[in-house]
């Protein structure tokens, strides 16, 4: 399967996300508001899926369609009927159950049979010339591992060379959390209907969703009148956060930032955070670090104002700065702990990362002016649980972190989740596997802190910072591939990304700015 992290969504998908259970409840209300039946919606879903599969795989001549015992299977029956009418050979396998099919799926099944279609048992041998598989096994109601008979079909589909098109969501993927409690379809593409579900964007989603398509099924007017509780953020929104600067602006208008960290031997972390802040547009950046780090950082990036971390320098900097960032290379010994104690009660906007989070886990408290940026391991320490629990429901984990610690939380990972005390929550639809390398978190800390100093609210700074960070990496990956990407490679593309009014998508070059 094509690496999803290297594939931009090929059609526009909405920026609003609906909790999976809320969307299931709203479907009937949406249909009723427009005088539609749920069966008519099913017909529209099947037609949209058929057209998408036909467009993406025009050479496929024999489709294998896997139908479960629910409305997702009903969509599959509609696809089968349309494909057969278009001259495509169709082999349809259906799961049987003692429980009656839902009314709409039953009607779709009858329409397939009335059109001369055949329903095969799920355990028959598969024809040799299958060139496309349609996954209609499980829908958005999954909460546990697929049963053995379904898991067997999923495993057979994944082992087959034909690409898989998933209807609404890959079978086995939890639509709310993005978790995969058991076997899961590895789709080449997924077409989702009516509303975007969070499980398509976070957790394990990027491993299995493939190219993501969306179809509103004609419910656009109803959807526009609703307020979705979650947002999807991507690079198309950067211009809203980052308008052009006034020609008469000066460095004091763009934020005075102090970054604290870099114990002995960790000059790289604090230097990357500092340079990232400059590249993201901070007006002035002061770095407080171990005295051994001063000379190499100044030599490498003279635009940074670098001072020895002392009690006095921290006090002075807290008075001077508009924004405070602490954590990159801080360590957990007394040197770093003392600095954090001084910063603890600062009322200015702050970003806490890395060892600042580990020290916070030891002495938890709640503050309203902090952005916390944990990766799953740090989040587990902050919530006194294990990483598996964090990853099993990333949205809930972010909400728990905000409830306990206040402010804004950035739960990093594939499908980063940003949550605020005010109840705002978004999923970042940017970034790729190349970012799984050392220093990326330090760069993100610098970006968010810099944007906080440019008059963005903490929540907006966190969201915009994560998008800019991920988009910079996506541009590099699109040109050079994800393997071997360095955190400092982001600096040249980052500068382009945070100037959305002037960026040229065709001329990004790798950065050599870290090697002066």
209-260 pLDDT per residue, tens: 999 999 999 999 888 888 899 999 999 999 999 999 999 999 988 999 999 9
Sign of CA dihedral 57, 202, 167, 186: positive
What local confidence, expressed as pLDDT, does residue 508 receive?
A: 46
pLDDT band for 30, please (50, 70, 90 cuts): confident
What confidence score (pLDDT) does residue 506 get?
Answer: 54
pLDDT tens digits for 347-390?
Answer: 999 999 999 999 999 999 999 999 999 999 999 999 999 999 99
Q: Phi and psi dihedrals of 193, rounded to 5?
A: -120, 150
pLDDT in tens, 91-104: 999 998 878 899 99
Q: What is the pLDDT of residues 310-340, one digit of tens each?
A: 999 999 999 999 999 999 999 999 999 999 9
With cut-offs at 50, 70 and 90, classify the pLDDT of residue 3. very low
Average pLDDT rounded to a whole number, residues 27-43 = 90
Location of structure tokens 């670090």: 289
pLDDT tens per residue across span 169-178: 999 999 999 9
pLDDT of residue 50: 98
The pairs formed by 188-192 with CB atoms below 8 angstroms and a separation of 24 or more are 188/1, 188/2, 188/163, 188/164, 189/52, 189/56, 189/163, 189/165, 189/213, 190/165, 190/166, 191/48, 191/49, 191/52, 191/165, 191/166, 191/167, 191/215, 192/168
Which pLDDT score is estimated for 113? Answer: 97
| Alpha carbons 208 and 213: distance in angstroms, whole number | 14
3-state percent helix, strand, coil for the chain, nearest multiple of 5? 45, 15, 40
Interval 268-275 mean pLDDT: 97
pLDDT over 80 (residue 501): yes
pLDDT reading at 60 higher than 80: yes
């Amino acid at each position: 399967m094509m690496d999803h992290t290297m594939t931009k969504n090929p059609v526009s998908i909405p920026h609003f996300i609906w909790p999976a259970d809320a969307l299931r409840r709203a479907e009937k209300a949406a249909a009723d508001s427009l005088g539609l039946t749920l069966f008519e919606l099913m017909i529209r879903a099947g037609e949209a899926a058929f057209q998408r599969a036909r467009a993406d795989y025009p050479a496929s001549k024999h489709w294998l369609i896997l139908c479960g015992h629910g409305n997702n299977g009903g969509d599959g029956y509609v696809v089968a009927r349309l494909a057969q009418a278009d001259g495509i050979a169709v082999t349809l396998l259906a799961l049987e159950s003692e429980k009656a099919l839902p009314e709409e799926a039953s009607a779709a099944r009858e329409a397939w049979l009335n059109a001369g279609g055949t329903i095969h048992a799920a355990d028959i041998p598969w024809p040799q010339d299958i060139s496309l598989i349609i996954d209609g096994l499980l829908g958005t109601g999954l909460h546990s591992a697929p049963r053995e008979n379904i898991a067997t079909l999923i495993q057979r589909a994944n082992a087959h060379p034909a690409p898989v098109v998933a209807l609404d969501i890959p079978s086995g993927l939890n639509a709310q959390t993005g978790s995969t409690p058991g076997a899961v379809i590895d789709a080449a593409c997924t077409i989702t209907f009516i509303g975007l579900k969070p499980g398509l964007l976070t957790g394990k989603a990027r491993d299995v969703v493939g190219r993501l398509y969306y179809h509103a099924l004609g419910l656009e007017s109803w959807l526009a009148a609703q307020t979705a509780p979650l947002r999807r953020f991507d690079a198309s929104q950067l211009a809203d956060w980052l308008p052009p600067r006034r020609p008469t602006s000066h460095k004091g208008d763009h934020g005075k930032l102090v970054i604290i960290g870099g114990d002995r031997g960790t000059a790289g972390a604090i230097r990357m955070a500092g340079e990232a802040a400059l590249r993201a547009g901070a007006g002035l950046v002061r770095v407080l670090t171990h005295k051994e780090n001063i000379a190499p950082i100044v030599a490498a990036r003279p635009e940074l104002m670098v001072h020895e971390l002392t009690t006095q320098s921290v006090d002075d900097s807290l008075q001077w700065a508009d924004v405070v960032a602490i954590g990159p290379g801080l360590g957990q010994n007394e040197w770093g702990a003392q600095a954090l104690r001084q910063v603890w009660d600062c009322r200015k906007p702050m970003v806490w990362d890395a060892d600042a989070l580990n020290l916070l886990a030891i002495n938890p408290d709640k503050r309203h002016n902090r952005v916390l940026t944990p990766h799953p391991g740090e989040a587990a320490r902050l919530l006194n649980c294990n990483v598996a629990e964090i990853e099993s429901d990333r949205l809930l984990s972010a909400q728990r972190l905000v409830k306990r610690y206040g402010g804004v939380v950035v739960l990093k990972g594939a499908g980063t989740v940003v949550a605020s005390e005010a109840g705002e929550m978004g999923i970042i639809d940017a970034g790729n596997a190349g970012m799984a390398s050392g220093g990326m978190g330090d760069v993100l800390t610098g970006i968010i802190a810099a944007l906080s100093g440019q008059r963005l609210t903490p929540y907006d700074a966190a969201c915009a910072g994560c998008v800019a960070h991920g988009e910079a990496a996506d541009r590099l990956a699109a040109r050079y591939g994800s393997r071997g990407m360095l955190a400092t490679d982001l600096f040249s593309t980052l500068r382009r990304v945070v100037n959305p009014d002037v960026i040229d998508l065709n001329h990004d070059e790798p950065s050599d700015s870290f090697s002066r």
